[in-house]
Amino acid sequence: MGINFNKNTGEFHLYNDNISYLMKIMRNGQMGQLYFGKRVPQKDNYDYLTENRYRPVSAYVYDNEYSFSLEHLKQEYPSYGTTDFRMPALEILQQNGSRITDFKYVSHKQYKGKPALKGLPATYTESDDEADTLEILLRDELLQAEMTLIYTVFGKENAIARSVCFENKGKEKYQITRAMSLSLDLPDDEYEWVQFSGAWGRERYVKTRRLQQGVQSVSSTRGASSHHQNPFVILKRPTADEFQGEVMGFSLVYSGNFLAQAEVDTYNVTRMMIGINPFGFSWCLSPGEEFQTPEAVMVYSAEGMNGMSQTFHRLYRTRLARGYWRDKERPVLLNNWEATYFDFTEEKLLEIAKNAKADGVELFVLDDGWFSTRCGETSGLGDWWPNMERLPGGIKGLSEKVEAMGLKFGLWFELEMVNRDSELYRAHPDWILHTPNRHASHGRKQYVLDFSRKEVVDYIYEMVAKILRESKISYIKWDMNRNITECFSAGYPAEQQGEIFHRYILGLYDLYDRLNTEFPEILFESCASGGGRFDPGLLYYAPQCWTSDDTDASERQKIQYGTSYAYPVSSMGAHVSITPNHQLNRSTPLKTRGDVACFGAFGYELDLAKLTAEEREVVREQIRFVKKYRKLIHTGTFYRLLSPFEGNFTSWMVVSEDKKQAIVAYFKTLNDVNREYRKLRLKGLDENLLYHIIEEETDTGSFYGSELMNIGMVTTDASAGEAPIGEKACCDFWSRIIVLKSE
Ligand code: DGJ
């Protein structure tokens, strides 16, 4: 890994063993992009990559010559209006109304390690030799505006982290109206664009299409990364698949409004960018002030989409997630939400906890409804003190009782919200985000607190910290159940209203950070009506996230499969719930529900007392399995094998670092009959090791890694004929977990 700068040509080469990133100071002082991809050698000169022929109807920078047009040059951080007509990475509105800027190279510095971003989540290094960082300082002379492009290349991961920092060194205040975290001009358009789209209950479905000339994008304008789109997209070569071929992933470490966009011009150059959504955004930068963009991470893989995902998994699991829980085995939890909803007493909760303990659960989580007047959706949000009628000993008493049973205790909060029917709202009606003299829309009868204001965040912090200080709380589920409308803050002047969406997220990060700091051993799980804020920004503060409210085992295969493109298994909260399923009214086998959920941060979302004795035994076995294998499942190399979006079968597997153990999950959606003989080609094993195939504790035979990967593991089931009476039949929503152990 390293960074070379060639003084003669002005070329920079960031590299590790597998990837190269080339750029140069162009003739006009702006930064040009040359190459991102598989490692190429260090050379004296990559000048041939700067292509600028005369093209009619273009505009040219220099008088009396027709060769230097920004429209046709690949750039690093482009602006609009100085001969480039494509969508820019930045735009600054100045006092005279102009939006033209001209940022030219001033200097650069490079150093070992990686800087933290003030107030923002970011990947990090544990020692300086893990990464090299380059900072390129550019200046717009007229405006005396400075801009630093920050690049970190990791040594062991094929990833480059980027962000941009603006500093106003002049005398004039100006508005930044667009500041992407990353912009990358690629020389061709031979890509498929993969996005992760959905809605509540069906988050992160995989959608793929061929790049076309013009602009294609996904974005959020909701104040959250959202259920609907994810701040993550892939550009893959059409011939690349899960296991081979060239793939690039672009991920924004941010939880608010974002834009991910590819613009293909009519010369088939692709401009990819990702950052804060410029729609509705502006940031007023006064003299002496700085503005730091969120971080974007781009990953290059020559080993297909699994290769790309594995890089994101390692990076986000070990160098984005932080703290006490990062490397610890996550507790098996039971959450009371679907067991009781709002209808509980302390006695009922303790009974649920007692049964959970009996079956091996380690953490009991009390969800919504424990505080103030909150016995339904209409009141109490914002008043974070226990409802003493429901919980006579308060949270303190309840948490002590749960701990006395030998369980840890966890608690639900929705700290960003308020009901109108609450003490908080009555005392501070101007603390909600709303536009003066206009109607304020509700979502689930609640309003969004103005986290752009420090006094609001301070107030909430004190309230929640008090409970955490006095009770035995080991886990927090941090929910967020609506998006922002009528965005306006009473705490800021007119010229700063374009900052509020972003300031809200900064306030959210600040609250998380303060709670992480004061309570470092509490495990945080983020949540937003299920998976409405499953993004890398929050993984920095909360190493796991509730993946979706949809706990149906079949639907979950799609949701977890889609989520796995960027996010590690350890980050996906995944629970077994009751059937018929509360979201789909569908019944699936208990085994299948467990087999899907064990590929996540595992738990239950039900009252175990409602199960039969036989089912309770299945639960005990699931928990034994999870405790035995969770470390391997969370830290092993994860491979997607068969996609639920493409057929009747879904499969994925994890392989231990030393390749001596692996676990394969294999799901069949609808049963079939008199069908083909089937095999499943496994991945990531050691060709020469002999593996025992163990299913439900039974050793069913031994096969070499090379057999399992090339011939395949036999998965033929009873459906390959008419199932004989007595043979273990399969059924709809059927599943298998197969453990591979080498000798
Ligand atoms: C939405 C979450 O996704 C659920 O799990 C639950 O916590 C409810 N909110 C509680 O209101």
CA–CA dist 251, 294 (Å, integer): 11
Percent of the chain past pLDDT 70, that is, above it, reads 99
pLDDT in tens, 421-431: 999 999 999 99
CA 364, CA 352: separation in Å to the nearest integer?
A: 9
Rg, C-alpha atoms of the chain: 27
Say if CB 22 and CB 49 are below 8 A apart: yes
Indicate whether 187 pLDDT > 90.
Answer: yes
Catalytic residue, chosen from 132, 359, 549, 717, is: 549
CA 695 to each of CA 43, 600, 613, 711, 740: distance values in angstroms, whole numbers, following the listed order:
54, 20, 23, 19, 9
In the block, tokens 């544990």 appear at 126
Residue 325 confidence (pLDDT): 98
The preferred substitution site among 227, 549, 559 for testing ligand 1, maximizing ligand atoms within 8 Å of CB, is: 549
Ligand 1 pocket (Cβ < 6 Å) reads 337, 367-368, 412, 479, 481, 527, 529-530, 546, 549
Which ligand 1 atom is nearest residue 477's CA?
Answer: 7
Residue 315 is encoded by which pair of tokens?
A: 């990076």
Mean pLDDT of the chain: 97
Q: What is the mean pLDDT of residues 658-687?
A: 96
Q: Tell me the best of 381, 417, 527 to mutate to test the pocket of ligand 1, counting ligand atoms within 8 Å of each CB and taking the most.
A: 527
Helix (H) or strand (E) holding 219: strand 214-219
Q: Residue 494 contacts by C-beta under 8 Å, 6 or more apart in sequence?
A: none
pLDDT of amino acid 728: 65
Q: What is the pLDDT of residue 730?
A: 87
| pLDDT category of residue 221 using cuts at 50, 70 and 90 | very high
Looking at residue 52, its pLDDT comes to: 85
CA distance 611 to 622: 14
Give the pair of three-digit tokens for residue 124.
């990090």
Q: Is residue 637 a contact partner of residue 654, using CB atoms and an 8 Å limit?
A: yes
Query: What is residue 725's predicted lDDT score, i.e. its pLDDT?
Result: 60
The vertex-651 CA angle with 646 and 657, nearest 5°, equals: 135
Q: Which tens digit of pLDDT belongs to each residue from 512-534?
A: 999 999 999 999 999 999 999 99
Calculate mean pLDDT across residues 119-129.
98
The rounded distance, in Å, linking the Cα atoms of 633 and 600 is 8
User: Is residue 244 scored above 70 in pLDDT?
Assistant: yes
Note whether 642 and 679 are within 8 A (CB): no
Is a pLDDT exceeding 90 seen at residue 653? Answer: yes
Q: 512 CA to middle of ligand 1, Å?
A: 19
Number of helical (H) and strand (E) elements in the chain, helices listed first: 12, 38
**Average pLDDT, integer, range 234-250:** 98
Cα of 533 from ligand 1 centre, angstroms:
13
Give the model's pLDDT for residue 723.
64
| Exposure of 452 in the CB half-sphere (CA atoms within 13 A) | 24
pLDDT at 719: 84
Which pair of structure tokens corresponds to residue 106? 């001033």
Is a pLDDT exceeding 60 seen at residue 726?
no
Mean pLDDT of 145-160: 98
**Poorest-confidence range of 217-226, 282-291, 392-401, 671-680?**
671-680
Find the helix or strand (DSSP H, E) in which 739 lies.
strand 734-742
Cross-strand pairs, 410 = 365, 475
- Name the 3-class secondary structure at 455: helix
Which one of 479, 535, 607, 717 is the catalytic residue? Answer: 479
Arithmetic mean of pLDDT, 489-505:
98
Whether 479 is catalytic? yes
Q: What is the mean pLDDT of residues 544-553?
A: 98
From residue 439, alpha-carbon distances to 36, 370, 442, 591 in Å are 49, 30, 10, 49
How many Å apart are CA 343 and CA 550, to the nearest integer?
21
Q: Helices 613-635 and 590-597 sit at what angle, rounded to 10 degrees?
A: 20
d(CA 214, CA 265): 6
Residues in the chain: 743
* CA atoms in the 13 A half-sphere facing the CB of 47: 7
Q: What is the pTM (predicted TM-score) of this model? A: 0.98
**Residue 688: closest CA among 743, 635, 633:** 743
pLDDT of residue 727 exceeding 60: no
Closest to 524 (Cα-Cα) out of 383, 362, 331, 296: 331
Omega of the bond leading into 580 within 30 degrees of 0 (cis): yes
* H or E stretch covering 625: helix 613-635
Q: Looking at residues 597-620, what average pLDDT do you find?
A: 98
Residue 490 has pLDDT above 80, yes or no: yes
Alpha-carbon dihedral sign for residues 324, 330, 334, 338:
positive
d(CA 585, CA 565): 28
User: In this predicted structure, what is the pLDDT of residue 743?
Assistant: 81
Pick from 22-31, 320-329, 671-680: least confident: 671-680
Question: Looking at residues 653-674, what average pLDDT do you find?
Answer: 96
By most ligand atoms within 8 Å of CB, the mutation choice from 333, 338, 371, 479 for ligand 1 is 479
Cβ atoms of 641 and 576 within 8 Å: the answer is no
Going through 349-464 in order, the beta strands assigned E by DSSP cover 363-366, 408-413, 417-419, 446-448
Measure 529 CA to ligand 1 centroid, in angstroms.
Answer: 6
pLDDT at 310 over 90: yes
Atom number of ligand 1 nearest to Cα 530:
3
Å from CA of 521 to ligand 1 middle: 23
